[in-house]
A = this chain, B = another copy of it.
Amino acid sequence: MSPDDGDVNRPRRGRPVDHHIDAALVAAAHAVFAELGWRGTTVERVATRAGVSRASAYRRCESRYGLLMLMMGDIYERVPVADTGTLRGDLVALMEDVARVWRDPAHVRFLAAVVSAQHEDERLSQAYLTQFTQRRAATSVIVQRAAQRGELARPGQGDLLLDMLAGIVAQVVLLRRAPLAPDFAEQVVDALLNGFGTA
């Protein structure tokens, strides 16, 4: 440490306040979205609902696309990347948290709308896929560690495995609108690791 970086250690008033603003904006954005859909979800409307000044809101997100990134980031934060020591343990922990998010009907409607809207709105798609790519980099650590431990039959297929796990949730909840069974996480992880065939 040099004397020059003293500024870094001074209390920065902005930080903790910003975190509260983010949380208020995310909650308000979900509420506005549930009422008015994606087109009605404007930064101004969300700021008013959150009790946050427009200036503060626009500092955090300059458009509804920024709001979307805050909302997606918030969902991802609810699903921490576990480190249990085994691939099975990490994936079951991950999928239990994923299932918890997807059992919330408000989130399902939100994610269904985002999935559809990204095929009509390139900026929305970019925002969504940017968040997704960051998230995938974080979860990839699970399969990288597994590959190092020799737990993957084909180490190059870690990404396909993560896509399979994301895909089965989308298939059950978004496409089939079926509930996720209580043992969903263990069931899908074991099936994917062990395989469906007898060969």
A residues touching B (Cβ–Cβ < 8 Å)?
A: 87-88, 108-109, 112-113, 115-120, 125, 129, 132, 150-154, 157, 160-161, 163-164, 166-172, 174-177, 187-188, 191-199
Residues of B within 8 A of A166 (CB): 171, 175
Looking at chain A's contact residues, is the secondary structure mostly helix, strand, loop, or mixed?
helix
Q: Given contact pairs A161-B196, A166-B171, enumerate 11 new A-B contacts (beta carbons under 8 Å).
A: A87-B197, A88-B197, A112-B116, A160-B196, A163-B168, A164-B167, A164-B171, A170-B170, A193-B195, A195-B196, A195-B197
CA distance A197 to B86 in the complex (A): 11
Residues of B within 8 A of A161 (CB): 191, 196
Q: Is the CB of B194 within 8 A of A132?
A: no
Closest CB in chain B relative to A170 CB, distance in Å: 5
Which residues does chain B contribute within 8 Å of A113, judged by CB atoms? 116, 119
Determine the residue in chain B with the shortest Cβ distance to A125. Answer: B177
| Chain B residue contacts of A119, Cβ below 8 A | 108-109, 112-113, 174, 177
Q: What are the 8 tightest A-B residue pairs by CB atom distance, in nearest-first order?
A: A195-B195, A116-B116, A167-B167, A167-B171, A193-B197, A112-B119, A167-B168, A112-B116
- In whole angstroms, how far apart are the Cα atoms of A174 and B192 in the complex? 21
CA separation between A72 and B147, bound complex, in Å? Answer: 41
Nearest CB of chain B from residue A119's CB, rounded to whole Å: 4
Q: Which residues of the partner chain B approach A157 to less than 8 Å between Cβ atoms?
A: 191, 196
Rounded to whole Å, the gap between the CB of A95 and the closest CB of chain B is: 13
Q: Please, could you name 26 A-B residue pairs with CB atoms under 8 Å apart, sorted by A?
A: A108-B119, A112-B116, A113-B119, A115-B174, A118-B177, A119-B177, A125-B177, A151-B198, A152-B197, A153-B195, A153-B196, A157-B196, A160-B191, A160-B196, A163-B168, A163-B176, A164-B192, A164-B196, A166-B171, A167-B167, A167-B170, A170-B170, A170-B171, A192-B195, A193-B195, A195-B197
Question: In the complex the two chains form, is A197's CB within 8 Å of B151's CB?
Answer: yes
